Structure 1
Amino acid sequence: MNNAGNDYGLWGLAAINAVVFIGFAYSFFKPTNPRDWRSFGAFSAFIVALFAEMYGFPLTIYALAGWLGPKFPNVNLFGHDAGHLWWLVTGQHGNPHFGLMHLLSFGFIFVGFTLLAKSWHVLYHAQRRHEVATTGPYAWVRHPQYIGFVSIMFGFLLQWPTLLTLAMFPVLVLMYVRLAMAEERDSERLFGDSWRAYAARTPRFIPNAGGPGHDQPVAGG
């Protein structure tokens, strides 16, 4: 296995990237209650695990070295480009940062942060008016913020998959589903018929093909 030119051990860079992305998410999501902090904390753990391997210690590369080494004998597995595993295992050549997976990852990450930002703005004003949030992203789905977190994590998996983040991803998705259902029970108790009417016309996670059924605010019941 060729291990010349080790591009890892850059813990300062790992910390800076983790702080930047977690800070962005915090500024867009602004957790205010234990459920918010749980979802934000899980997302933060994913980001820390990702950048710890991307720049710190390549655990996935070490774990797969016995398979990757013979398969790619002329590749420096400890060079940064080899960490883009989708690019490596599909036999692509050139700069992986311009590959389809990498470009798609930026799209998912951008959509995720956009959803977090727009959703928080709608939710903040709805909470101040004691109303069900039904405009903006909430006109399409009932839980756009959780979709935003999942979109960001999926984008990073397209860009830099690791064994740990691949294992964390389905667990975190299930956690967000459970948090969404608990949130809905609280909303139904708080808003009653207003929430039930909104939930009846608005999908939980997957938007209707025909667009939102309604986009006017509904007063809390």
Structure 2
Amino acid sequence: MHDTPAYGLWALVVINSVFFIAFAASFSGLRWDKDWRSLGPYSAFIVALFTEMYGFPLTVYLLSGWLGRRLPGVDLWSHDAGHLWSTLLGWKGDPHWSLLHLGSAAVIGAGFWLLAASWKRLFDAQRRGAVATEGPYARIRHPQYAAFVLVMFGFLLQWPTIPTLMMFPLLVAVYARLAWREEQDSLRRFGDDYARYMASVPAFIPRLRPPASKSGEATA
């Protein structure tokens, strides 16, 4: 028995889930006919993550036999042991200060920064009836989806679980599908202007330098 319980903290599951979902939603304005399609998969990932982080450690439970043989003497039911990458690597000390955890925090922060920057540019362009080509959109066509993937990947670096590891490639595929559908809508709406934008800016892997602007943002 632990003096301070590591799991069964369902209030923390709710608080953290609501915080990280609401934080991401605050950048989009949540037009439910569209934005929920991008926020929904991310929300499912977040709920699954914090359910294991503070609620019930399903992954540790399923792997407890193997982990017990591989890591004798390690308290598998402590919160620190839930940082499985650090646990499996045998790193000592507080895992919250490990290079892996600090790196994951940087990736998560970069994802939220990209999400905020891209939604602002997209909102401004949509208000003018234009193709968003400035800010992050000058280097990547779908920065908002890339941002969600970065945040989820960052969380996997610090707290991997079987459900979230299985969900991650599926959610990447979902975002790729959503991006393709949005591009078809944009081609119908903006025609050649968006086709030229597609030809000059990559979809998900950002270019190092933005393309030279010839006529600014294309309007509908």
Q: TM-score, length-normalised on structure 1? A: 0.95
Give the unaligned 5+ runs of structure 1.
none
* 1:87-98 mapped onto 2 (5 Å cutoff): 87-98=86-97
Q: 1:74 & 1:98 partners in 2: Cα distance?
A: 22
Corresponding residue for residue 56 of structure 1: 55
* 1:183-202 mapped onto 2 (5 Å cutoff): 183-202=182-201
Instruction: Give the secondary-structure state (helix, strand or coil) at the position aligned to 1:187.
Output: helix
Corresponding residue for residue 212 of structure 1: 210
Q: 2:19 & 2:39 partners in 1: Cα distance?
A: 14
Q: RMSD of the TM alignment (CA)? A: 1.3
Corresponding residue for residue 180 of structure 1: 179
* 1:61-140 mapped onto 2 (5 Å cutoff): 61-140=60-139
The question of 1:28 aligning with 2:27 is answered yes
Displacement of 1:72 in angstroms is: 1.5
Q: 1:161 & 1:88 partners in 2: Cα distance?
A: 11
Displacement of 1:41 in angstroms is: 0.7
Displacement of 1:197 in angstroms is: 1.2
The one-character-per-residue Cα deviations of 1:167-219 (angstroms, maximum 9, x if unpaired) are: 0000000000010011000000000111011111111011224x111356322
Amino acid at match of 1:149: F
Contact 1:140 1:202 in 2 (8 A): yes
Give the percent of matched residue pairs that are identical in Structure 1 and Structure 2.
Answer: 56
Amino acid at match of 1:120: W
Instruction: Give the secondary-structure state (helix, strand or coil) at the position aligned to 1:28.
Output: coil
Contact 1:123 1:133 in 2 (8 A): yes
Q: 1:147 & 1:98 partners in 2: Cα distance?
A: 26
Q: 2:192 & 2:110 partners in 1: Cα distance?
A: 32
Displacement of 1:58 in angstroms is: 0.3
The question of 1:7 aligning with 2:3 is answered no
Instruction: Give the secondary-structure state (helix, strand or coil) at the position aligned to 2:26.
Output: helix
Amino acid at match of 2:125: A
Q: TM-score, length-normalised on structure 2? A: 0.95
Contact 1:10 1:56 in 2 (8 A): yes
Instruction: Give the secondary-structure state (helix, strand or coil) at the position aligned to 2:204.
Output: coil
The one-character-per-residue Cα deviations of 1:8-29 (angstroms, maximum 9, x if unpaired) are: 0000011101111001000013
Amino acid at match of 2:30: P
Q: Which moved more, 1:127-136 or 1:21-30?
A: 21-30
Q: 1:35 & 1:75 partners in 2: Cα distance?
A: 46
Give the unaligned 5+ runs of structure 2.
none
Q: 2:144 & 2:216 partners in 1: Cα distance?
A: 18
Q: 1:166 & 1:202 partners in 2: Cα distance?
A: 30
Contact 1:139 1:214 in 2 (8 A): no
Instruction: Give the secondary-structure state (helix, strand or coil) at the position aligned to 2:35.
Output: helix
Contact 1:4 1:76 in 2 (8 A): no
Q: Which moved more, 1:23-32 or 1:176-185?
A: 23-32
Displacement of 1:33 in angstroms is: 4.6
